[in-house]
Amino acid sequence: MRYTITEDNRIILASETGVLDIEPSNIKEKGNLRSGKILSIDFTRNKVKFDQEIKNTICNREPYNNWLKKNRITADMLPKKKSKFKKINDLDLERFHKVFGYSKEDIEKVIYPMTKNASEPIGSMGNDTPIAVLSKKPKHISNYFKQLFAQVTNPPIDPIREKDVMSLITHLGNVSNLLSQKDTDCRNIMLESPILNDETLEKIRSIDIFNLQSKTINAYYKVDKKGGNLKKALNRLCRYVDDAIDDGYEFIIISDRFLDSSHAPIPSLLSCSCIHNHLIRSGKRGKVGLIVESGDAWEVHHYATLLSFGANAINPYMAFATIRKLRESNSSSDIKKLKTLKNNYINSIEKGLLKVFSKIGISTLKSYQGSQLFEIIGINRNTVDQYFTSTTSRIQGLGINDIERENNKKHFHAYNHEQTDLDVGGLLSWKKEGEKHAFNPETISLLQHSTIKNDFSLFKKYSSKVNHLNKTSIRSNFDFNFINDSIPLSEVESSKNIYKRFATGAMSFGSISHEAHTNLAIAMNRLGGRSNSGEGGEDEVRFKIKENGDNLSSAIKQIASGRFGVTINYLNNAKEIQIKMAQGAKPGEGGQLPGHKVDDWIARVRNSTPGVGLISPPPHHDIYSIEDLSQLIFDLKNANRDADISVKLVSKAGVGTIAAGVAKAKSDKILISGYDGGTGASPISSIQHAGLPWELGLSETQQTLMKNGLRSRVKLQVDGQIKTGRDLAIASILGADEWGISTAALISQGCIMMRKCHLNTCPVGIATQDKTLRKRFNGEVDHMVNLIHFLTEELREIMASLGVRKVDDLIGNTKLLKQKKNQNWKTKNLDLNPILFSHLDKPKNYYNSSHQKDFLSDQLDYVLLEKIKDTLDNPSVRSNVSTQIKSTDRAVGTIISSEISRKFGSEAISEDSININFIGSAGQSFGAFGSKGLTLKIEGDSNDYFGKGLSGAKLIIRPPKESRFVANENMIIGNVALYGATSGSCFINGKAGERFCVRNSGVDVVVEGVGDNACEYMTGGVALILGNIGKNFGAGMSGGIAYIYGNKNLNNFNKSSIDLVNTNEEDIKKIKALLHSHRKYTDSHLASFILDDIQNQKNNFTKVYPKELRRIHEKNKIHANG
């Protein structure tokens, strides 16, 4: 929010500057209303009150600090109490593991790494196992719940680099009336974390302070063959809780410790949510704190579901008992103390929880508790309404008696089964006796041999195995509905036409090797399909076609939150530009390429430093709303008007509404990714539990776009574990115009699903940058060509059997599908009809049949192009142009830069060849992707995204000469300036807003003050800041250098990412050169003051040195010295 205060006592407050024309001499002050800040206008006193004054008035109304000191309780204040429970012996521990559903994999691959590393384990590749309701194994109830996440409509948060806004603090006790304030309202227990160790739980169980009391209620039911006992037990549980609240208890402990051969524990998520929703309905929820004493919570997702469905705190006593057993069984000499192992485990859960609720854009646990931010897959509506009220569940499934039956299977295994071993698991990687995987040794072998031998019959064996693999996906529960007569295969659309509908999934150069990356590009270009560069940029040598005619350039150039390698030349060598809003395997999260994968080649392509790790932020910092996405689409259309713009979304509840907004924002294509897509590295809880199958998201998107008359405007693409021609056919019937192939593509190149991508140890040379391992790569372009051909031929055979001649006639024709009749007790009540619902009967409305309307025709750049055409025709001729600019003139300079790139490539033209001077207020994205040779100067001010993606241009901005205010005390540009800038220079005679120079990787810039989160994730360039800095400066900064003038705000630095060091002679030389340029271009009074007194003022500069960059510099210095 920008504001202007005038000399004649007016205030103009708007989302942009320049909405009204005001004489520069009449402007008294220019500023911005920062996030979390407020202002008020007092008309009686003719005064504007700002944030601190308003909040001080509110905070001084009552002695709040004294109230807290007197009444607030912390765990440390409570006396220690001995537990009444005996230590769980080894025999009981093994039995309880079975009762609660632990597997060997859970203990060895989830819990143990947490105790060792204090962080959640990382996995790779996608999830090709059945969703819980389709699995024949008894599942943890939380596996039916999928985490929601933010995409487009609000941003996710980085819980690591922006930890200062995150909080796990929780309060236990009676929640008072906010409108009635008194000191006893503070009388509750404050906990720094919702995860309670055994000692803290016993303190609360025995609490005796301020007359506060706790009550433990056992959550169990009797096991018998009749069933129906779970429902009765839940009703009984709610009665007990009501009685406890009526008796004055402030803390209720829901415990599942009571179990034996006749009694099974109620799943803690079910008991907690049941009580939580019951108390909401009865109006009593605020009167009590709910603590869950849980045996079935051990991984991050379990805790997230418990907290989201009402728990205030959780004691995972079985996880702690398991950790004790792990320590006793480990004979290693470096085994840590039990307390350390438990603390590591708690820390890993806490980090995981921050990750889970930050991905939906929530920063505090208090906001997440009770939010129920999940979608349920496979539990029926009646059960959801009763126990998980208001949570989305679209395809029905298990009832309460079925949940009881599944829970009883675990109990039976523990007490009555001859088998003594724990289940092996097999979710994270294939195991012979474990969970089913669609890609297993047999199917991988068949696929590879078929593509190597170019044997379609062998491919058919592979696809038959995959298609009949015990219903592992939603689509496997569909049958084709043969309502038409079959037709000859020769009448079906040609393979050559269908090839054009294929794309590879986004896999970056960095996550996979050069050899694998280029093979996919060559194959798709040969076929007329499109390969996807991924988010790591692309070496420009690949833009030139080889002598044999092969094209190594990825047709789809991806632009993700890290903006790695995104330059004006990169964008102009794309047929399609894809905005990655989320990734199927880890939606709502950013990525990180570890330093050992960043060699010289990758560092050059990504504009970074070899050996220094690279971070992609969770959000695009220029997309916090659908309007912001519309702006980026506009910017990219300006950068390359011939390219299609696509937006990658991940399947979730509500994705259809988001997709409608994306279509209205003028995207040409929308990609719906399934949760089961691949990844180079992701927390295992994200791989397993975030996002939805693409069948749900695609059908919702298709239906929403049709209902709103938008379907014909956009193409729909889908990806996520698409393996066979049957998958292609079903995807198109549900609405897909195009398909993305990723995992199968890598398998065709030799991938054997070792799931070691994140370790850089891929044994077949695909997901590694290790030169020795890359020599093992045996993939061939023809193998990928054969895969696409086989998929196409299988699709054509299906089309012929359905009597469908063209893919367009297949798209959205849901009458061609029907649900299979299911005999399995878990799947018999599934209802997939919502997926097959159709709004319209007219086939022409089902698929993409038109184009988005042109929205560039009135751009100011077209007027300017006429005035600089002499330079574009002859670079030795310089152009100088002056013109007015207004806030509705957006992305000025971007079309010009596109023309420069098209004519001259990345070499562009010499500096200052084209000089354009503007007077007024520039709109958003001024100078976006500005090319070398272009100099843009504003006398006035500018809005958000100033210099986004700058690619060599020079930007200059200063206040009008008639201005009376002090330039370095006033706002001149908006938020997110120079985001993803790669090269060039910038001189700003005033203050910038929030998130200045995020992901700057090569621009030298001078500015006279910045807001919060400046220089975040910066990897290159120099930022000279002649003024105050906001909070969290330099978070995630791993390269480049910043210099700060003055020492008022040095505590605002992110100390985990950067060091503050004294400047040396070389630094002062750089600073002086930048100051001279700044004074030359902007007439900055501050720059003049410093230069005129440089011998004294040089001591007021502090150098900001990224820790990662410093480590590499010192390492290189050691090597250089022998």
pLDDT of residue 591: 78
Stretch 578-603: mean pLDDT: 90
Range 88-94 contact pairs with CB under 8 angstroms and sequence separation of 24 or more: 88/318, 88/321, 90/325, 93/321, 93/322, 93/325, 94/420, 94/422
Confidence bin at 185 (pLDDT 50/70/90): confident
Rounded to an integer, what distance in angstroms lies between the CA atom of residue 1090 and that of residue 1046? 11
Cα distances (Å, whole numbers) of residue 111 to 101, 123, 198, 1057: 14, 14, 17, 29
277-289 confidence digits (pLDDT tens) = 999 999 999 999 9
Question: Among the listed ranges 168-172, 831-835, 935-939, 1044-1048, which one has the minimum average pLDDT value?
Answer: 1044-1048
CA pair distance 985, 927, nearest whole angstrom: 12
CATH of the domain spanning 94-123+154-415, picked from 3.30.1330.90, 3.40.920.10, 3.30.479.10, 3.20.20.70: 3.20.20.70
Average pLDDT for residues 802-816, to the nearest whole number?
96
DSSP of 573-588: T-SEEEEE---TTSTT
Residue 323 exposed, middle or buried by CB count within 10 Å (0-12, 13-18, 19+)? buried
Q: Given 3-state DSSP classes, what are the helix, strand and coil percentages for the chain, each rounded to the nearest 5?
A: 40, 20, 45
* CA–CA distance, 802 with 732 (Å, rounded to integer): 13
State CA 792 to chain mean position distance. 32
Phi, psi of 122 (to 5 degrees): -105, 140
Cα–Cα dist 816/795, whole Å: 14
Structure tokens of 203? 């303190």
Write down the mean pLDDT value for the chain: 94
Both structure tokens of 954: 């020079």
How is domain 876-1120 classified at the CATH fold level? Pectate Lyase C-like (2.160.20)
Closest CA to 402 of 825, 969, 998, 1001: 825
* Confidence (pLDDT) at 778: 95
b/e code 840-856 from CB counts within 10 Å (16+ = b) = eeeeebbbbeeebeeee
Which string of b and e fits 699-725 if b means at least 16 CB within 10 Å? Answer: bbbbbbbbeeebbbbbbbbbbbbbbbb
Q: Helix or strand or coil: residue 356?
A: helix
Measured from the Cβ of residue 690, the count of other Cβ atoms closer than 10 Å reads: 30
Whether the predicted pLDDT of 1016 surpasses 70: yes
Residues near 989 by beta carbon (within 8 Å), at least 6 away in sequence:
957, 958, 959, 967, 968, 972, 1008, 1078, 1082, 1083, 1084
Which pair of structure tokens corresponds to residue 279? 């108390």
Q: What is the pLDDT of residues 133-145, one digit of tens each?
A: 999 999 999 999 9
Residue 186: pLDDT above 80? yes
Please give the average per-residue pLDDT across 239-263, as a whole number.
Answer: 95
Percent of the chain clearing pLDDT 70 (strictly above): 99
CATH class of 441-845: alpha beta
The domains of the chain are located at: 2-61, 94-123+154-415, 441-845, 876-1120
**CA dihedral sign, ordered 13, 14, 19, 25:** positive
Q: Which residue has the tokens 């143990």?
A: 112
The span from the CA of 749 to the CA of 778, in Å, is 7
pLDDT digits (tens, 9 = 90+) for 971-986: 999 999 999 999 999 9
Mean pLDDT of 451-457: 98
CA 876/CA 702 separation, integer angstroms? 53
Assess whether the region 441-845 and the region 876-1120 belong to the same CATH fold.
no
Using DSSP's 3-state secondary structure scheme, residue 146 falls into strand
Confidence of residue 91 (pLDDT cuts 50, 70, 90): confident
Report the DSSP pairing between strands 374-379 and 47-49: unpaired
Asked whether the predicted pLDDT for residue 908 surpasses 90, the reply is no
pLDDT at 177: 77
- Whether pLDDT at 312 is above 70: yes
State the Cα–Cα distance between residues 492 and 452, nearest whole angstrom. Answer: 27
pLDDT at residue 335, rounded to an integer: 66
The rounded distance, in Å, linking the Cα atoms of 1112 and 612 is 7
Residues 765, 772: Cα–Cα separation, whole Å = 8
User: Is 479 exposed, middle or buried, given 0-12, 13-18 or 19+ CB atoms closer than 10 A?
Assistant: exposed
Q: For residue 795, what pLDDT is reported? A: 98
The Cβ-side half-sphere exposure at 193, using a 13 Å CA radius, reads 18
The average pLDDT across 595-620 equals 91
User: What pLDDT, on a 0 to 100 scale, did the predictor assign at position 334?
Assistant: 58
CB 634 within 8 A of CB 890: yes
Over range 638-649, report the average pLDDT. Answer: 98
Over residues 740-759, the mean pLDDT reads 93
Q: Burial code of 554-580, b = ≥16 C-beta within 10 A, e = fewer? A: bbbbbbbbbbbbbbbbbbbbbebbbbb
